[in-house]
C-alpha cells in the first residue's frame, strides 16, 4: 500500500500564476520530506526539503508547506515559469538513509506561456 500519494497526475498553470502541487502521506513516523523534479530524458533532481519539525521552508520561488495533523504537504511555485514544466515527485523519509525513502507517483506540471 502506498504510503506517499500524489493524487493529481497532472496540473496546468498559466505563466506567472501560482502552481500548487499536493502530496499526502499515511505514516506519522516520516521525519523528512523532499520534492524532486524530473525533466524528460533526465533523472530526478532534488528541489527542496522540509523537516517534520517545521511547517514551512522557502527557497526562492519554491515553498514547501507541511501540515502534520492532516499528513499533507504542498509545493508552491510562485511565479510559475515555462521552465518549471516537469514531473514533480514527493518523497518522505522514515529514519536516516535514503533507503528509507518513499516516493509518490508524481505530478506532471505544465506551465503555459
> What's the min distance (Å) between Cβ of 96 and another protein?
7
Cell 496540473 belongs to: 11
Q: Which of 60, 83, 97, 113 contacts another protein by CB under 8 A?
A: 97
Stretch that binds another protein, among 15-23, 63-71, 76-84, 102-110 (CB under 8 A): 102-110
Give Cα separations from 112 to 9, 14, 15, 44, 81 (angstroms). Answer: 17, 5, 6, 22, 8
When asked if residue 98 is in the footprint of another protein (CB under 8 A), the reply is: yes
4-43 footprint of another protein as x/- string (CB under 8 A)? x----x----------------------x-x-x----xxx
Q: What is the DSSP string of 43-62?
A: --EEEEEEETT-SEEEETTE
Count of residues that interact with another protein, criterion CB under 8 A: 26
Find out whether 62 and 109 touch, Cβ atoms under 8 Å: no
Question: What whole-number distance in Å separates Cα of residue 82 and Cα of residue 67?
Answer: 28
> Interface with another protein by CB under 8 A: which residues?
2, 4, 9, 32, 34, 36, 41-46, 49, 89, 91, 93, 96-105
Amino acid at each position: 500500500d502506498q504510503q506517499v500519494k500524489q493524487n493529481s497526475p497532472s496540473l496546468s498553470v498559466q505563466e506567472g500564476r501560482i502552481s500548487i502541487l499536493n502530496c499526502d502521506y499515511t505514516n506519522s513516523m516520516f521525519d523528512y520530506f523532499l520534492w524532486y523534479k524530473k525533466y524528460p530524458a533526465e533523472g530526478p533532481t532534488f528541489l527542496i526539503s522540509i523537516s517534520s519539525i517545521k511547517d514551512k521552508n522557502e527557497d526562492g520561488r519554491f515553498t514547501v508547506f507541511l501540515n502534520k495533523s492532516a499528513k499533507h504537504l504542498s509545493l508552491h511555485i510562485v511565479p510559475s515559469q515555462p521552465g518549471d514544466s516537469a514531473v514533480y515527485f514527493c518523497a518522505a523519509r522514515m529514519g536516516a538513509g535514503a533507503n528509507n525513502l518513499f516516493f509518490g507517483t508524481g505530478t506532471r506540471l505544465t506551465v503555459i506561456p
